Amino acid sequence: MALYAVHIANGTSSNTSLLRLFGRYLSGTGVVQPGAFTVSAQASPNMTVKVSGSAILDDLVIRPTFGGTYHGWNTGTENVTIPSNATGITKIDHVVAYIDTAFSSGTADNPGALVLTTVRGTGTAAPSDAEINTALSSKPWIRLAEVTVANGASSINAGNITDKRTFARLDGGLLSTASVPSTAIASEAWTPYTTIWSCVTGTAPAIGNGSLFAKYMRLGNTVFFHIALIAGSTTTFGSGGRFRFTTPFTITTAASGTQSTLFTVRATDAGVRG
């Protein structure tokens, strides 16, 4: 049989079929809410770390490269034990969340099927994807944080923890953009585009042997763009003043009759470039 549909009467549906369409819209694995599944030290540091959870749900989506889509959530803060280190060198652990695909609780939403654990790297290195796959028997997983564990450490402090979460994305951007950490924005890819430099009136400027480049990044309906102009010895600035640069997308008036464009201009004089 090669043709399938989700939940015809008297049939059943697997995890793969229920989340198949959702997974097609995703570009990869990640947490959904900006603050979901954050890893932090305890208020009184010890050899455990806490993973955030919320009654309004902290969600994550795991989409392994080998196919399938998995969804998990956490409604309360969970503690994860960091193994002791008596190796004589500093070790690096990664806190990961994974789906135990062999687990079946017989209860709605399968409590316990999403598991939090740690995987320790070899030598002084962080654990590789291959090492995590081996440790978890190739179950679907996502990195949450990196924990540096000194030799003989008796507690894990905030300075020992580095956020390693990725953010779930649709092809058009993040699933949630409210209060997105700057690290998430920085991880987005910038796309180069060609901007046209002109004057409102008069003779148009010419870049000559200078340089003009532009790039943009889109998060949903918000577009960030950056334009850099470096004048050369043959650059001319026209006669009209009031320069214009084209944006990566045409700005159209919203239905309400208002629109918002925020930008900053900075000019510096570094001398003539030949």
Answer yes or no: do 23 and 153 share one domain: yes
- pLDDT tens for 17-57 read 788 878 877 877 889 888 899 999 999 999 999 999 987 77
Answer yes or no: do 126 and 47 share one domain: yes
pLDDT reported for residue 274: 44
Answer yes or no: do 232 and 100 share one domain: no
Domain end call among 172, 207, 239: 172
Q: Where are the alpha helices (DSSP H) in 26-150?
A: 129-135
Answer yes or no: do 98 and 71 share one domain: yes
Domain end call among 114, 138, 172: 172
Residue 177 resides in a domain:
no
Residue 179 resides in a domain:
no
Answer yes or no: do 91 and 55 share one domain: yes
Distance set, CA 164 to CA 45, 94, 217, 236 (Å): 20, 8, 22, 47
Residue 274 resides in a domain:
yes
Q: In the predicted model, what is the mean pLDDT of the chain?
A: 82
The whole domain housing 100 covers 15-172
Answer yes or no: do 164 and 208 share one domain: no
Element (H, E) at 119: strand 114-120
Q: What is the DSSP string of 132-146?
A: HHHHTTT--EEEEEE
- pLDDT tens for 151-209 read 999 999 999 999 999 888 776 665 665 555 555 544 456 788 888 888 888 888 888 88
Total-model pTM = 0.64
Answer yes or no: do 25 and 92 share one domain: yes
Answer yes or no: do 72 and 158 share one domain: yes
Q: What is the DSSP string of 152-218?
A: T-----GGGEEE---B-EETTEES--TT--HHHHHHSPPEEE---EEESSSSPPB-TTSEEEEEEEE
Residue 76 resides in a domain:
yes
Answer yes or no: do 24 and 100 share one domain: yes
pLDDT reported for residue 239: 82
Residue reference for tokens 């989340």: 19
Three-state SS at 15 = helix
Residue 229 pLDDT > 90: no
pLDDT reported for residue 187: 46
Answer yes or no: do 161 and 225 share one domain: no
Answer yes or no: do 270 and 162 share one domain: no
Residue type, 10: N
Residue 251 resides in a domain:
yes
* pLDDT class of 83 with cuts at 50, 70, 90: very high
Domain end call among 172, 199, 232: 172
Lowest mean pLDDT among 34-48, 51-65, 90-104, 208-222: 208-222
Residue 184 resides in a domain:
no
- Structural domains in the chain (count): 2
Residue 193 resides in a domain:
yes
Measure the CA dihedral 216/220/222/224, to 10°.
-20
Selection from 147, 173, 129 nearest residue 32 by Cα: 173
Whether 140 and 98 have beta carbons less than 8 Å apart is answered as: yes
- Two structure tokens written together for 230: 């470096």
pLDDT reported for residue 79: 97
Answer yes or no: do 195 and 161 share one domain: no
Residue 181 resides in a domain:
no
> What are the two backbone dihedrals, phi and then psi, of residue 24, each rounded to the nearest 5 degrees?
-65, -25
Burial label for 197, CB within 10 Å (0-12, 13-18, 19+), is: buried
